[in-house]
Amino acid sequence: MTTVNTLFGTFDEKQLKSLRGYIEEIVTCMNRTRSNNESISDMIDLAHDELNLPKKIIRKIAVYEFKQSLSTDFAEFKEVEALIEGIKDAK
């Protein structure tokens, strides 16, 4: 039976097999994420080429739509803007 001693603890064969399973699943998710990110970049490129919108703007719109956070982010921005203006006016 395999046992590994590290600074993180002692791990027996069952725990090592379990860790291997977690790592394999994480790598699978990472590969899926990379593939999804490539697809997103391709769609942004297509939208940019067709509509001549800046890629940065297309990505921001998609992020706001995904997070459903436009109204919250806009409200926070207005608060930050008010503070910046207050700083400028402070003597």
Question: Which amino acid is present at 27?
Answer: V
In terms of Cβ atoms closer than 10 Å to its own Cβ (0-12, 13-18, 19+), residue 42 is: exposed
Q: Is residue 48 located within the same domain as residue 82?
A: no
Residue 73's pLDDT band, with cuts at 50, 70 and 90, is confident
Q: Is residue 88 located within the same domain as residue 61?
A: yes
- pLDDT, one tens digit per residue, over 25-36 is 999 999 999 999
What does the alpha-carbon distance between residue 67 and residue 25 come to, in Å, rounded to a whole number? 26
Examine the pLDDT at 75 and tell me if it is beyond 80.
yes
- pLDDT, one tens digit per residue, over 6-57 is 999 999 999 999 999 999 999 999 999 999 999 999 999 999 999 999 999 9
Counted domains in the chain: 2
Percent pLDDT > 70 in the chain is 100
Q: Is residue 41 located within the same domain as residue 31?
A: yes
Question: Dmax of the chain from CA atoms?
Answer: 73
Q: Is residue 69 located within the same domain as residue 37?
A: no
Which domain, by its residues, includes 69? 54-91
Q: Is residue 29 located within the same domain as residue 61?
A: no
Q: Is residue 2 located within the same domain as residue 36?
A: yes
Q: Is residue 11 located within the same domain as residue 42?
A: yes
- Helix (H) or strand (E) holding 9, with range, is strand 9-12
